[in-house]
Amino acid sequence: MTSLTDLGIAQIRDGVRGGAFSAREVAEAYVAAVEKGRALNAFTVETPDHALAAADAADAARTSGDLKPLSGVPLGIKDLFATKGVPTTAGSRILTGFRPPYESTVSANLFAAGAGMLGKLNMDEFAMGSSNETSAWGPVISPWRRRDGGNAALTPGGSSGGSATAVAARLAPGVTGTDTGGSIRQPAAFTGIAGVKPTYGRCSRWGIVAFASSLDQAGPMARDVRDCAILLAAMAGFDPKDSTSLDLKVPKWEANLSSDIRGRRIGIPREYRIDGVPAEIDRVWEQGIQRMRDAGAEIVQVSLPHTKYALPTYYIIAPAEASSNLARYDGVRYGRRVQPAQGGLTDMYEATRAEGFGAEVKRRIMIGTYVLSAGFYDAYFNQAQKVRALIARDFERVWESCDLILTPTAPSAAFALGDKANDPIAMYLNDVFAVPASLAGLPAISVPAGLDDQGLPLGLQLVGRALDEQGVLDAALALEERAGFTARAEAWW
């Protein structure tokens, strides 16, 4: 018999429903896996009691015949989501000790759907990072290792690195992530799992520690496309507490899921072929294109002319919003306060923020403060918002000739911890393919598509029209079926 931790969300849900095993057994198996996986540093807090209580409720619900969509499914929750009474730090020292007296809408939706929580997942500090190395609680380690036998600790990507590792190492069947400029898709690609960034406004941002408000979106990360569809449906939905939430019914993504994409037009944007990208990335992309063609899709060459400006645009808008969003961490109402002896209020502010924030967060706050400061607003922020409009317009035009866009998710496979830690721009380039869809608010997914020479997973990204998560999921399913990606990290921890 396979281990219960080999089961994904759909299998657990169906198994509990059918009585193949109890939710309690599943939860216990995963709680044990979480404990055993501590070397990966994926969790900042473990909450076995929460997972077990939800499991018991699921078992009781089965007896009484009112199982919910996620009854019996234990999940990991990224530490960016406020969880009532459970420490929530966003990977930052400045939120040390913070226990929110409230539950984020997305986690509340998941719990209302019967899910339990295994714990909070490590992440880059305030979701700023692409390697999980900016976490105040230490980097998360990928379960994957290179074939070269060097055993260098690899990054799971970021910022949802704890989320990615938890799924890839079978510490959780599914998790929440958040994606501001690739933070779900890039770690999903690095760890050989699936991850969806839905249309901006699908998932409520209420109770998610804000990084860049106009970009932040929560989304699911799981082992396959179907599990992502199930999880996303439970996370999404209109929330009157978020002014930017979309007042729309949640579609039945799982029920409508179909890999029949005959006649679908898949766009291949020429601007995504950039210099310096390893040949293996191109190879996997070409394979993906061929698989789409095999599935009956029509391949269309398209152009997104402003692509090269997406990353610099993002590195103006996101830091600008962040510099303001993070002003509330001032040592007054929650979290850490550092009071220099004999110091006044300003000294307290400056010491609290200097000691509370890590280097990357400070760097971005400084950039954001600079680009908004007197005399630079038009040249930087306003210019960036105009270029952003052009990037969104590029997509609008492309949708006249295709239905989806297929690209690599990231320009490389997972790199070793420390490799890029001293070169911010090299780090930022990780998200070169992910950021355009974020700026335009479009739904996108990363699915595992193959392995590189070192045996590390590579992902492909599908981007769709606003609100067309179904189209994205369907094409991803077609790719998944044809890729037959079964590789998994050997448990060394």
In whole angstroms, how close is the CB of 55 to another protein at the nearest point? 27
| By the rule CB under 8 A, 99 interacts with another protein | yes
Report in angstroms how near the CB of residue 378 gets to another protein at its nearest. 10
Is the separation of the CB atoms in 398 and 269 below 8 Å? Answer: yes
Q: How far is the CB of 61 from another protein (least distance, A)?
A: 29
Name the residue nearer to another protein (CB basis): 274 or 392.
392
**Interface with another protein: number of residues (CB under 8 A):** 97
183 is known as an active-site residue: yes
| Residue 214: Cβ-neighbour burial (10 angstroms; 0-12, 13-18, 19+) | middle
Given 137, 253, 315, 433, the residue binding another protein (CB under 8 A)? 315
- Half-sphere exposure of residue 411, counting CA atoms within 13 Å on the CB side? 16
Choose the binding region for another protein from 6-14, 189-197, 224-232, 306-314 (rule: CB under 8 A).
Answer: 306-314
Among 78, 120, 197, 420, the one annotated catalytic: 78
Does position 437 interact with another protein (CB under 8 A)? The reply is no
Nearer to another protein, 280 or 394 (CB): 394
Q: Within 336-355, which residues bind another protein (CB under 8 A)?
A: 336-337, 339, 343-351, 353-354
**Per CB under 8 A, which of residues 363..392 are in contact with another protein?**
363, 365-367, 369-374, 377, 379-390, 392
Q: CB of residue 306 vs another protein: minimum separation in angstroms?
A: 7
Element (H, E) at 451: strand 444-451
Contact call for residue 466 and another protein (CB under 8 A) = yes
Whose CA is closest to 407, among 219, 293, 269?
269
Query: Helix, strand or coil for residue 361?
Result: helix
Cβ-contact 443, 197 below 8 angstroms: yes
- Window 33 to 92, contacts with another protein (CB under 8 A): 81-82, 88, 90
Catalytic choice (183, 245, 412, 446): 183
Q: Is the peptide bond before 245 cis (omega within 30 degrees of 0)?
A: no
Q: Which is nearer to another protein, 14 or 423 (CB)?
A: 423
Q: Which residue's CB is nearer to another protein, number 47 or number 104?
A: 104
Q: Using alpha carbons only, what angle is made at residue 121 by residues 125 and 205, rounded to the nearest 5 degrees? A: 70
Cβ of residue 323: shortest distance to another protein, in angstroms? 6
Q: Does 247 bind another protein (CB under 8 A)?
A: yes
**Stretch touching another protein by CB under 8 A, among 27-35, 64-72, 112-120, 203-211:** 203-211
Considering the rule CB under 8 A, would residue 146 count as an interface residue with another protein? no
**Out of 441, 457, 459, 464, the residue judged to bind another protein by CB under 8 A:** 441
Work out how close the CB of 10 gets to another protein at its nearest, in angstroms, rounded to a whole number.
29
In the complex with another protein, the residue whose CB is nearer, 276 or 484, is: 276
Q: Is 138 an interacting residue with respect to another protein (CB under 8 A)?
A: no
Q: State the DSSP string of 379-447.
A: IIIIHHHHHHHHHHHHHHHHTTT-SEEEEESSSSS--BTTSSTT-HHHHHGGGTTTHHHHHHT--EEEE
Enumerate residues 6+ apart whose C-beta is below 8 A from 255. Answer: none
* Sequence letter at residue 458: L
Shortest spacing between CB 459 and another protein, in angstroms: 24
> Do residues 76 and 162 touch, judged by C-beta distance below 8 A?
yes
Q: Is 159 a catalytic residue?
A: yes
Catalytic entry in 107, 135, 159, 438 = 159
Asked if 108 touches another protein (CB under 8 A), the answer is no
Kind of pairing, strands 265-269 and 404-408? parallel
- Convert 340-369 to b/e letters by CB count within 10 Å (16 or more is b): eeeeeeeebbebbbeebbbebbbebbebbe
Q: Does 304 bind another protein (CB under 8 A)?
A: no
Interface of this chain with another protein, residues 445 to 464, rule: CB under 8 A: none
Per-position DSSP letters for 42-98, written without gaps between them: -EEEE-HHHHHHHHHHHHHHHHHT---TTTT-EEEEETTB-BTTB---TT-GGGTT-
245 is catalytic: no
Residue 266 to residue 258: CA distance in whole angstroms: 16
Q: What is the 3-state secondary structure (H, E, C) of 139-191?
A: CCCCCCCCCCCCCCCECCCCCCHHHHHHHHCCCCCEEEEEECCCCCHHHHHHH
Contact positions with another protein (CB under 8 A) in 170-199: 199
Contact between 335 and another protein by CB under 8 A: the answer reads yes
Q: Which stretch binds another protein (CB under 8 A): 47-55, 65-73, 280-288, 330-338?
A: 330-338
Instruction: Please list, in sequence order, all residues whose beta carbon lies within 8 angstroms of the beta carbon of residue 110, skipping any fewer than 6 positions away.
Output: 70, 75, 77, 176, 231, 234, 235
Which of 38, 332, 397, 401 contacts another protein by CB under 8 A? 332
Given the complex with another protein, which of 278 and 312 has the nearer CB atom? 312
- Where in the sequence numbering do the catalytic residues fall? 78, 159, 183
